[in-house]
């Protein structure tokens, strides 16, 4: 059923773009109207594919999104679709005979990565929601990395959310990759915001540096950043 629906969309896309191109054969560059039509059809296909039931379809939608972002697209429909994908299996749950059928952590992870590439305030908000509701380390790790890449930290809200997210795992099952992503994100956020004071960041770094469950290189990275913060005096 899904394949048939996508085939119809692709057929419509090819027909529409071909028709528009035929009307403008004398022009070498795509007109504004043609470009808008192409983007609208592409977004229709992306949204329909992302909302299909299967993991494979959602991964295809993510490939289309990666292509669009790579071309410099900032269409907010992309952000909305990525946010939708980050919620599936966590905030939006589908069940069949009591079993969750839409829990695809790899899909959520990729969506978190592409939100970081969008780099907008709205994308940051979606990533902060991941920090609040996600329970898969690999998804949180990607969300934390993306928040560091975006670099927005108004009133320390980003650092506070990251610190809260990793504290949940510190108390249950510490994860080295998540801790390393946290340290790197803190470094980017603190430097981009002129080493803004953050009690949460300092407390988190101390906790990582002193927790023997973390491997030595991770603890050493936390100590190094603490030393930088101390020497900066800010």
pLDDT surpasses 70 at 133: yes
SS (H, E, C) the chain: CHHHHHHHHHHHHHHHHHHHHHCCCCCCCCCHHHHHHHHHHHHHHHHHHHCCCCHHHHHHHHHHHHHHHHCCCCCHHHHHHHHHHHHECCCECCEECCEECCCCHHHHHHHHHHHHHHCCHHHHHHHHHHHHHCCCHHHHHHHHHHHHHHCCCHHHHHHHHHHHHHHHHHCCCCCHHHHHHHHHHHHHHHHHCCCCCCHHHHHHHHHHHHCCCCCHHHHHHHHHHHHHHHHHCC
The string of pLDDT tens digits covering residues 40-99 is: 888 999 999 999 999 999 999 999 999 999 999 888 999 999 999 999 999 888 898 889
Domain ranges across the chain: 154-234
Give the global pTM.
0.82
pLDDT digits (tens, 9 = 90+) for 142-195: 999 999 999 999 989 999 999 999 998 887 788 999 999 999 999 999 888 876
């Amino acid at each position: 059923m899904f394949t048939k629906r996508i085939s119809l969309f692709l057929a419509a896309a090819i027909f529409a773009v071909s028709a528009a191109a035929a009307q403008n054969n004398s022009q070498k560059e795509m007109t504004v109207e043609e470009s808008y039509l192409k983007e609208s059809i592409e977004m229709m296909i992306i949204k329909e594919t992302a909302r299909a039931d299967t993991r494979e379809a959602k991964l295809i939608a993510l490939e289309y999104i990666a292509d669009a972002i790579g071309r410099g697209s900032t269409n907010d429909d992309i952000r909305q679709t990525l946010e939708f994908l980050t919620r599936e299996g966590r905030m939006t749950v589908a069940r069949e005979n009591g079993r969750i059928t839409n829990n695809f952590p790899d899909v959520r992870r990729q969506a978190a990565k592409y939100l970081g590439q969008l780099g907008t305030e709205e994308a940051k908000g979606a990533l902060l929601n991941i920090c609040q509701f996600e329970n898969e380390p690999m998804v949180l790790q990607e969300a934390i990395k993306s928040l560091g890449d975006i670099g927005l930290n108004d009133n320390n809200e980003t650092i506070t959310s990251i610190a809260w997210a990793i504290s949940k795992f510190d108390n249950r099952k510490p994860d080295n990759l998540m801790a390393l992503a946290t340290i790197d994100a803190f470094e980017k956020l603190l430097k981009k915001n002129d080493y803004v004071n953050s009690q949460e960041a300092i407390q988190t770094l101390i906790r990582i540096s002193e927790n023997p469950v973390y491997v030595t290189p991770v603890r050493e990275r936390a100590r190094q950043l603490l030393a930088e913060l101390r020497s900066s005096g800010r």
